[in-house]
Amino acid sequence: MKNISTTIHFTIILIFPLMTKAHPGHGETDGYTITHYFTAPSHAVITLGSIVILYAMFRFINKEKFKAQK
């Protein structure tokens, strides 16, 4: 479990600079509304990628717990 935690933290540290990258669109039109974060491709890719990673992580953890119970 410690290895998983270390891997997750390391991955977050590696991706953090990509998540904080600025791009055009903020302040020009509706850059500060919630719709911007769901419709702008740069935000949508990060959001979908995060959802996929979280899904895979929870599925892996549940698989390991199921194996441990047997």
pLDDT tens digits, one per residue of 53-69: 999 988 988 887 777 77
pLDDT of residue 9: 83
pTM exceeds 0.75, yes or no = no
The CA–CA distances, whole Å, from 68 to 59, 61, 64 equal 14, 11, 6
Show the CA angle centred on residue 62, arms to residues 6 and 9, nearest 5°.
15
Q: What is the pLDDT of residues 2-51, one digit of tens each?
A: 788 888 888 887 777 666 666 666 655 565 677 777 777 777 888 888 89
pLDDT at 7: 85
Q: Tell me, what's the pLDDT at 64?
A: 76
